[in-house]
Structure formats: C-alpha cells, structure tokens
A and B are shown apart, each in its own frame.
Chain A
Amino acid sequence: MEFKLEAHRIVSISLGKIYNSRVQRGGIKLHKNLLVSLVLRSARQVYLSDPCQGGLCLGGPGAGGPSQPQPPPPPQQQQQQQLPGEPAPGWGDPLPRDSSMEQDPEPALATLEPPALPPGLGKRQMEGSPPVRAEAVPEAPRRRVEATETERSGCSGAGGGGEGAPEGPPRARHCCCRRFCCSPPGTPRADCGCRPRSDEGAPQPPPVCPRKRSAAGVGVGPAGCQASGGSPVKKPRRDSEEQPGEEEEMETGNVANLITIFGSSFSGLLRKTPVGGREDEDGEEEEEEEEPQRGPEAAEPGPMYCDKPVLRNLNPWSTAIVAF
C-alpha cells in the first residue's frame, strides 16, 4: 500500500515537472523530460499493477508474488513472467475491485490470468500490432516489464482490436482528442476539433461512438475499453504533432499537452490493464515525441472514460486532476 501511495505521489510530481518545463527559459529540455517520463512510467506501472487500488486492498502484499526483482514489484507483471499457469496468491482478489470500478461485467483481470483468458487472448497480441510493438518485446531487462504489460493489455485489447476494423481504431484515436469530447455518432471529428491526419486517410468509418456503446453492453467491448486506456493518452499527443515532413523542430512540443492528457484520461489509467500495449515500448516519452501510425491494436475511443460510475472511483487521483 505504501508504495502505491509513493507511486501516486511520484506521478503527481512528475506531471508537475513536465508542466513546468513548458514555461522554463530556454525551451523544453529533452534529456530531463525523457528522464521524468521514465520515472512517470515506472510509477504509473507500479500504481496500476498494484492490486490495492481505490482503497480496496484486496490482494495484500502477498499478491505481489514471492520473488520480486524490483522494489516495488508490479505483481501482475511478476506473475506474467512466471509460469502462466501459476497465479500468485490472492490473484483472484482483484477481480471484485475491477468489477466495482467498471461497469462492464467482464473482469479485466481475467486478462492477467492466462488460463482464464478467452481463447485467442492468451496469445501475445503482438502479432496484431505493427512492428513497432513487436520490436519492443525482445528488449533489455527494463523492457521486460513493458513486454508483460503488452501481453496483458494486448490480451484485453485483442477484444477491441480484433473486433474493430483496422481503420477503426486509428480513427477512434484520432477523434479522441485531448478533451475527450464525447462526440455524437458520426461526427467525432467535428466535435473534437482534432486535426485530421493525412496518413490515416479520409474514408474512415466512425467507430468511436458505436464502439463505446458496444463496450458498455458487450463483454468483449470492455476488454477493448481497457486496452484503449492507453490510446487516449497517445492520441492527443499525436494530434498536436506537426505533420511528418515538416521542417524539423525540437520535438518536445507535446510536453505541453501531457497535463491535459493525464487530466482527462485518469480513468483510463485506473483501469488495471494499462495501455493498449502501445505505451509499453515508449513509456511516457510520448510527451516528447511524434506519434506516427498507430497499429490497430490499441485503439479505443477515449470518450468511454467519461462514464460516471468510473469517475466516481477516481478519488485517489482527484488531487492530481485538480492540480492540472
């Protein structure tokens, strides 16, 4: 529990630093913001992987698993690294939490237990993603954590990613602009005011709202919802980016957007399975970088997170949100 609070605090501090870096003299420092983003990612992973969230400490310290290579260890990741068939003690405990936090019946943590996964979700969803994610898998020790998250979120994202048309998710991401305007069906773009991205092409179906609705009611949807927890984070960043091919600028412009990103997507962060895997390889360096083509794996619309039942459970993050 302590390290969850610590992680929360570190996330708040890190966001503050990124915010302040926008106004400091001399421009945004790439090195410092890269380091802050690494810390932010680590803290966020710890926070999200900690079963004791929202005040319901169900798993207890034992849920973390016996051998923990890094303090504080993300329990889910730890488990992922172990044999798939061996859930850590207390593994079933987080389930009630998830169902209480989400309106979707399907427990998100089912993705954390490979045996419990629906067929097809047990596999690493890397295949469904563009090479970007696949490359992240076999990387250095530090990436190990992200890889397992990819597994998790990829599993959950498979439901969403698989069902949606390939162009759906990108479009959804596109429309999921920083304010997460819940655009009425068919006009996501207009309401969001997002800058159209030429690389995604014009003829995209508007999957945002239909997906949202389906997510609310259907079992498969929630998995997608969870996975898309990450996509809104990426999206606004991408929207604010210059189009590729422009004169090169120091690409730290998105730091400015990070606060709004986190301000509006905390509900996504709270969903246990972080990110649709996209963040795995990048961590929070997103605030500094351009976002190119996103694979279809993680694209869930952001507006989903405006749901009230979810927002009610955002108390731990309220201070951070208020701050920004």
Chain B
Amino acid sequence: WKCPDETVHGSKADIISTVEFNHTGELLATGDKGGRVVIFQREQESKNQLHRRGEYNVYSTFQSHEPEFDYLKSLEIEEKINKIRWLPQQNAAYFLLSTNDKTVKLWKVSERDKRPEGYNLKDEDGRLRDPATITTLRVPVLRPMDLMVEATPRRVFANAHTYHINSISVNSDYETYMSADDLRINLWNFEITNQSFNIVDIKPANMEELTEVITAAEFHPLHCNTFVYSSSKGTIRLCDMRASALCDRHTKFFEEPEDPSNRSFFSEIISSISDVKFSHSGRYIMTRDYLTVKVWDLNMENRPIETYQVHDYLRSKLCSLYENDCIFDKFECVWNGSDSVIMTGSYNNFFRMFDRNTKRDVTLEASRENSKPRAILKPRKVCVGGKRRKDEISVDSLDFSKKILHTAWHPSENIIAVAATNNLYIFQDKVN
C-alpha cells in the first residue's frame, strides 16, 4: 500500500466521525464532530502522468448540522455527523444523506460553471436599473465562470427519533431509506419529510426490562425488502418488510453461543456489535465487536463462518480500557469491492486487513511519519510476549488516544480512506 502525494488532509479543529465513498468512488465524503461535511473528488488521470493515479482533492465543504438545543427536554443536541450515505447518481448532481443524533438531511451537491449575463432590469453588479433608462431589450446569455460547487439542503427529516440515531441506510429501490436509533428504526421516503414509518421498535413497555439496544442497521444491497440490525448483546436480526408492517419479529436471528471460559465483568460490553455491513454480493454480513470481526453467512444463523481477532492482546486489559472509556469505542468495518478482504481499525493508529481467501492478515499504521508521499506502508506488529523484536511495539506502548474508528474502501479499486482522529489518510495499492 502506498501513499500518493498530498493525501493527508487534516483539520486541526475537528475529529472525523464518518467516511464514505460514493458508488463510483469518484467522491469521498467525511463528516466531523463540528457538523461539517468535506467532500473530496478524485482527479481525472491525465495521459501525461500515467504513473500518477488520481488524487483526491477537496471538492466541497459545507456545514451540514448545527448544534441545537431541545428546550423541552433541556438537552443539547450535538452537531456531530454520525453517518453519511450517498445516493446513486441519477443526474449531474450528487446527493447524500447526513445525520447527527436527531436529524437526517438530504444534501444536493452540484456544480455551476456558467452564469447568466445580460439582464435587462439589473446591471452586472446586480443593482437595479431604472426602467425609464432602458431603451432596448436583450436576451440574457450563459457565460462560463469559474467552477463553483454548491451544496444545498433539499430535505430535512426531523423529529422522528427520541433516542440517538446511530445508522442510516439507503434502500436499493433508491426511493426509501431507514434511520435507526437505540430502540427504533424508521423507514422514510425521500420525498416525504413530515412522516416516517416505524418498522422496528424494541422499546419494552417497562423500561426496566431493557436489556439490549440497536447498535447498527443496514439494508440488503439487492433486496429492497430485507434489512439487518445488530444489538448490544451481540446478535443480528434479519427482517423482511413483506412479512408485516412492524418488523419486531425477525426472519433470521444470528447469534453465536458465548464461550464460558471468556466470561468477565466486561463480557457484555465486548460482545456489543458496533457495526454491521452486508457484503457487496448480499450473501454475507460482517459484524464488528470490540475484539473481533466476524463474517456470517445469511444461511447459517447459529455461528459465524469466519472470526478474525483484531487485537486479542487487549483481552487482558479490559479493566483499564473500561476505566479510560476505550472499551466503548465503536469501530467500523468495511469490505473491499470484491468481498475478498475486510478491513477495520484499532489503536495506535493501526488498522488491520484480513484476506478471507488466503487467511493472511496485515497491520498497517496511519501516521505522518510513516506516510511520506509514495512511501510504502510497512506492516506493523504488536508484541504480546516477553521478548520484543526491533520493529515490534509492545502492548503497553500503544497509544489509545489514537484510534481508527472509521475507514472506507473504494467500491472497485484498491483505494482506502482511513480517518485517524482529525486526519484523513488515503492509501492506494500499487499492483504493478
């Protein structure tokens, strides 16, 4: 994996909270804690510079969400962008959904490279002309101008969630999408903002009986009636919207029996699923809990078909990680375009890739020192035993403040985006 020129985009101000490629990989969107969205666009490869793959440069920046205050409940609503999801492109403009804890917004990002000139009633500065002075009429014409990218909010989907939104997912019908909070999932139509359908509600009548919450949800990539949601208890439910209006009863229930030898105070926390993703094929789902990534076959509910240890050396440190709140970190996971490799983040700015076919895995680091342009990333290794080799890093030296929670993989090429706190790293794989 290599680091092309100028691929580190950092804002000292804000921590990146979500990263997402669009369906073609031409655009890469990031959301941050300050409610801003920054979109990068890949430069077209030019014939003159064959050796230079397209780089990603800033295309558009806009403020998606602002801090709000709910006066009724005396609650401040954070502007942090929890998720961004792109819509497939259907015309010249790009559309994306971005959400904070309470409100989902549909943004239209469009280019303007022409502007009309030659108005009759206003002059070029925009000042109104005195109609009495007009002696002739002309037809305004469009003249080229410097490219301007503008983002406008086209829809605001608000007031539908009592709890904090953790996921949004666009349906394959491109007409609907869902938003999920801790206890409920709502189905929206893009055109209708003042109502949504509640399709999952796990809030118990007696809140004291609450034992689990929804942690992530996603639509099947191909079947518009199917979606999954994961829970804090480490289970995944697959639901079919054709079965009933309210999908409280699942069609499939994925759960792996707990290993009794691993029980501790923190067993429940580390089994909570932080992310769930369908494979591009729609045949598998991948889940991330605190220490592992698991791949499940939709046709087998009683256990995953693959389990990958991300950083099992942390298992003996759970108490410290509980104290410093790291145990609550929500790592995401991603598939590559062909579903053959999966990737997820870890601490010390490490991220891990697992090749499902060769069963090989690699640990890489996203850091400025190691990422000179064109530099090849060196695999890293964490030493768990006594003797530490020269290039290894010991568990106790890991920096837990440097965590990689959000990563993204280009839909068809080996280009990855890795968010390390407030820096975004983009790496490309040079096959030749």
Contacts and interface: CB of A to CB of B under 8 A. Distances in A.
Interface centre among B73, B206, B265, B269 (most CB of A within 10 A): B265
Contact of A132 (B206, B213, B232, B264): B206
Chain B interface, DSSP helix/strand/loop, else mixed: loop
A106 interface: no
B264 A34 contact: no
B77 interface: yes
Interface centre among A69, A250, A281 (most CB of B within 10 A): A250
Interface in A248-293: 248-251, 281-282, 285-286, 288-292
B17 to A, nearest CB: 12
A70 B263 contact: yes
24 contacts: A10-B319, A25-B78, A26-B75, A26-B77, A26-B78, A26-B101, A31-B182, A31-B213, A31-B215, A34-B211, A34-B212, A35-B269, A35-B272, A42-B265, A70-B260, A132-B209, A141-B260, A249-B162, A250-B162, A250-B163, A285-B207, A285-B210, A290-B208, A291-B208
B209 A34 contact: no
Nearest to A293: B206
Contact of B73 (A25, A250, A292): A250
B76 interface: yes
Given A27-B75, A39-B269, A285-B208, A69 B260 contact: yes
Contact of A39 (B166, B208, B210, B322): B322
Nearest to A282: B208
Given A42-B268, A292-B208, 13 more contacts: A26-B76, A26-B164, A27-B164, A32-B328, A38-B268, A39-B268, A46-B265, A132-B206, A248-B162, A249-B73, A250-B162, A290-B208, A291-B208
Interface string B225-264: 0000000100000000000000000000000001010011
A6 B319 contact: yes
Contacts of A209: none
Contacts of B164: 26-27, 29-31
A153 B289 CA distance: 35
By size class, the interface of chain B is: 35 or more
A27 B215 CA distance: 17
Interface string A130-167: 00100000000110000000000000000000000000
Interface of A: 6-7, 10, 13, 17, 25-27, 29-32, 34-35, 38-39, 42-43, 46, 69-71, 132, 141-142, 248-251, 281-282, 285-286, 288-292
Given A43-B265, A71-B263, A248-B162, A289 B206 contact: yes
B206 A285 contact: no
Given A10-B319, A250-B163, A30 B73 contact: no
A25 B70 CA distance: 12
B320 to A, nearest CB: 10
B323 interface: yes
B322 A30 contact: no
B266 interface: yes
Interface in B59-76: 73, 75-76
A10 B266 CA distance: 10
Given A25-B76, A69-B260, A289 B182 contact: no
B207 A290 contact: yes
Contacts of A71: 263-264
